[in-house]
Amino acid sequence: EPEVTQTPSHQVTQMGQEVILRCVPISNHLYFYWYRQILGQKVEFLVSFYNNEISEKSEIFDDQFSVERPDGSNFTLKIRSTKLEDSAMYFCASSGTGEQPQHFGDGTRLSIL
């Protein structure tokens, strides 16, 4: 069964450094998403992306965050200057349409030191 893949599985970064999290969505999906989950808490929406532009973003997704689909298969989340509170699991998801269920990758654990 096709799946969403994310790399790396764990990223350790110094505070203030830039980090790029990578995702390969399911190949025929058109809608892409990033969510984050702080340890022990619920999953929170960050951003949705369709047709090469952001369709919605949450208040968490401030100017330090950006997303890009640099080619036909990858979808990336960049955090420009990381803060301690950015430490979390970051999940990529994709769906065929905006109404179809979203399928999640196994996440990248981001640890900011």
Q: Can you tell me which of 48, 79, 88, 110 binds other proteins, judged by CB under 8 A?
A: 48
Q: What are phi and psi of 69, to 5 degrees?
A: -115, 90
CA distance 84 to 87: 6
Out of 58, 65, 76, 96, name the contact with other proteins by CB under 8 A. 58
Q: Based on DSSP, count helices (H) and strands (E) in the chain, helices before strands.
A: 0, 11
Place of tokens 């999940």: 91
Q: From the list 35, 77, 86, 88, which residue makes contact with other proteins (rule: CB under 8 A)?
A: 35
Q: How far is the CB of 65 from other proteins (least distance, A)?
A: 15
Residue 102 within binding range of other proteins, rule CB under 8 A: yes
Q: What are phi and psi of 85, to 5 degrees?
A: -75, 0
**87 makes contact with other proteins (CB under 8 A):** no
Distance between CA 80 and CA 73 in Å, rounded? 22
Question: Residues 3 to 22: which contact other proteins by CB under 8 A?
Answer: 4, 6
x-or-dash string of contact with other proteins, 62-81, rule CB under 8 A: --------------------
